[in-house]
Amino acid sequence: MAESPAQTAFAEEALTHLDTLYRGALRLTRDPDQAQDLVQEAYLRALRYQHSYQAGTNMKAWLFAIMRNLFWDRFKGSRKEDVSLDDVGEFVLYDKLRDEGAKPEADVLDKLAASEVVEAVEKLPPLHREVVLLVDVEGFSYKDAAQALGVPIGTVMSRLHRARQQLQKGLYDYALESGIVRGSTRQVPQS
Partner 1 sequence: MNCPDCKEKLDRFVDRELNSTEVLELELHLESCPDCSDQYEFQAHLKRLVKHSCDCDRAPAAFREKLRQILT
Asked if 157 is part of the footprint of partner 1 (rule: CB under 8 A), the reply reads yes
Interface map 43-82 toward partner 1 (x if CB under 8 A): xx--x-----------------------------------
Are the CB atoms for 157 and 189 separated by under 8 Å? no
Asked if 123 is part of the footprint of partner 1 (rule: CB under 8 A), the reply reads no
Asked if 180 is part of the footprint of partner 1 (rule: CB under 8 A), the reply reads no
Asked if 100 is part of the footprint of partner 1 (rule: CB under 8 A), the reply reads no
Are the CB atoms for 10 and 52 separated by under 8 Å? no
61, 168, 172, 181: residue in contact with partner 1 (rule CB under 8 A):
168
Least gap, CB of 19 to partner 1 (angstroms): 5
Give CA–CA dist 69/127, Å, rounded.
12
Least gap, CB of 79 to partner 1 (angstroms): 27
Please identify, using beta-carbon distances, which residue of 77 and 87 lies nearer to partner 1: 87
Least gap, CB of 176 to partner 1 (angstroms): 17
Please identify, using beta-carbon distances, which residue of 66 and 93 lies nearer to partner 1: 93
Query: Applying CB under 8 A, which part among 34-42, 52-60, 173-181, 182-190 lies near partner 1?
Result: 34-42
Asked if 96 is part of the footprint of partner 1 (rule: CB under 8 A), the reply reads no
67, 135, 175, 181: residue in contact with partner 1 (rule CB under 8 A):
135
